[in-house]
Amino acid sequence: MHEMSIAVAVVEQVERAAREHGATGVEAIRLQVGELAGVVPQALEFCFELACAGTVLAGATLGVEAVPARASCARCAREWAVGMPPDLGCPSCPGVAGELLSGRELQILDVRWAAESAFARADQEG
């Protein structure tokens, strides 16, 4: 299950940022996950909870923002939902492959630091 390795990577990245900025806790993390990223959101949420145990992220919630897979055709400029399994063939131009516009995203959108966090206080003051 690669969701565990993704969850661990997210926790490590946020922990590193917390140390750099003196944050003592994290309330929530929001991720953007593309439809074609090969991630099962429910499995990621389960793994995230396990990966957070014993870290400054313990008790943090994980929000997952799904990004639909979309493609476009360079010839006719049409955009379409790629679907599953992925179909990059332009529906209007037979034999022409489209360009994937979205659907492979896997990134941290934002982190909400715990209110008592030094980083959170500095962020509010600055």
Residue 31 resides in a domain: yes
Residue 76 and residue 30 in contact, taking contact as beta carbons nearer than 8 Å: no
Rounded CA-CA distance 14/31 in Å is 12
Range of the domain at 108: 2-68+102-114
Give the total number of structural domains in the chain: 1
Rounded CA-CA distance 123/91 in Å is 48
Residue 77 resides in a domain: no
Ranges of the chain with pLDDT below 70:
1, 116-126
| pLDDT of res. 102 | 96
| pLDDT of res. 120 | 46
| pLDDT of res. 11 | 97
pLDDT tens column, 17-37: 999 989 999 999 999 999 999
CATH number of the domain residue 42 falls in? 3.30.2320.50
